[in-house]
Every structure is written in structure tokens, then in C-alpha cells.
Chains A and B, each alone.
Chain A
Amino acid sequence: DAGITQSPRHKVTETGTPVTLRCHQTENHRYMYWYRQDPGHGLRLIHYSYGVKDTDKGEVSDGYSVSRSKTEDFLLTLESATSSQTSVYFCAMGLAQGYEQYFGPGTRLTVT
């Protein structure tokens, strides 16, 4: 049931370098989301997209940008990675607002 994938699955990078995480879905879902998961905080929304080239900020968007040039791809970019961005990042997709979201397998990012 891998209708949504993420790459890379693991990444180690240095402070100050740019990083791009990719999310790819094959289900033609309109909505896509990027979350980060940290101990004690649960899942927090970074950015979301409600269509091609339509994106908006979530709860913890500072230091992150996104792009969606095709329905199937949603990219998350850390322009200049910081140690506070060490986290596990999850992408999710959904057919409609307020309904089920289906998650990818996650990317573990370590910023040294």
C-alpha cells in the first residue's frame, strides 16, 4: 500500500547547508502535508498544499519552504539547516479537507 513514498529515508547534514526532502504520491490526492515529529511534541504541521502551486503555512513553518509543481510531488526545503531541525519528517496526503490523511514512511534528518 505504498501509495506515498519519501526520499531520502535518512540524511545527515551539516548546519548551514540546504536540504530538500521529497514526497511522491501515486493516488492523485489533492491535499499534501509535511509534518515533523519530535519527542514530547507529537506531530506538528509545517506546511500543506491544497493543489498544484497552492501552499500555505502550518504551525511550525519558520525555516522551511515548500513547492508543489505537480500533483504527485511535494518538496520540503530547509534553506539553511539548523540543529533544531533535527527531527523525523512525515509527508501525508488526503483526498479532501478534514478527511483521512495517509502518511509516508518518514525521513530521519540529523543536522550536526
Chain B
Amino acid sequence: GQQLNQSPQSMFIQEGEDVSMNCTSSSIFNTWLWYKQDPGEGPVLLIALYKAGELTSNGRLTAQFGITRKDSFLNISASIPSDVGIYFCAGQLAGGGADGLTFGKGTHLIIQP
């Protein structure tokens, strides 16, 4: 199936630092979603994007829908310990059917004290 290339695979940062991760594809997407997953739990939706160029914030999180519709990024400002987890991007392909989303393989965020 279609693939989303999510990078980086993992990040080791200090508390208080800003974080940036992105997803890219060779295909065009109509929707970009960003999820966070904590150990032993299901993914939780953080931000949803529906228009090319759209920039949306949720607290310290900001995400953008790339102008080419082939990429998206997520920024976290002033990281705190509870930001630790796995962040997934997901997208709905243009022309895609009801089977919906394609997922990236995740970015593991690790915060060093």
C-alpha cells in the first residue's frame, strides 16, 4: 500500500527544547492527522488538517498541511516530560476509498532530564 515516510524515527531531547517531526509522501493527501500514543494505550488525536497550507495549533503543538499536499509537520514547543511517547502521522489519500487512513511508522520522543 501507500507509504508515509515519517522522520525522525526517534528523538532524544532535553526538557524545554522544541521538537519538530514530519511526514512526507510521493502521493497527494486530502487530510493529515497527528496522533500521540502512550505505552499500553490507543492513539489519541492531537490535530486534524484539511486544507493545503493550513496551520493549526493545539496548546504547545502546531501542525501544518504542506502546500504541495504531500507532506505535513508537527512542532512541539518547550517540551515537558509528559510529551514522551510515540507520535504518528496519518493521511487520507486523494481519491482514497472508505478504508481511510495511511499511517506513518511513528516518531519516538524521549525526553532526558
Please report the total number of B residues contacting A with Cβ < 8 Å. Answer: 25
Is the Cβ of B41 less than 8 Å from the Cβ of A98?
no
| Interface assignment of A70: CB less than 8 Å from any CB of chain B | no
Q: Which of B94-111 contact A (CB under 8 A)?
A: 96-101, 103-106
| Interface assignment of B33: CB less than 8 Å from any CB of chain A | yes
Is the Cβ of B99 less than 8 Å from the Cβ of A58?
yes
Q: Which residues of B contact A33 (CB under 8 A)?
A: 100
Q: Which residues of B contact A50 (CB under 8 A)?
A: 98
Chain B minimum-CB-distance residue to A97: B98
CA distance A25 to B43 in the complex (A): 16
Chain B minimum-CB-distance residue to A106: B42
* B100 interface neighbour in A31, A41, A90, A102, Cβ under 8 Å: A31
Chain A minimum-CB-distance residue to B48: A100
* B45 interface neighbour in A56, A98, A100, Cβ under 8 Å: A100
Q: Which residues of B contact A (CB under 8 A)?
A: 1, 30-31, 33, 35, 40-45, 48, 88, 90, 92, 96-101, 103-106
Q: Which residues of A contact B (CB under 8 A)?
A: 31, 33, 40-45, 48, 50, 56, 58-59, 90, 94, 97-106
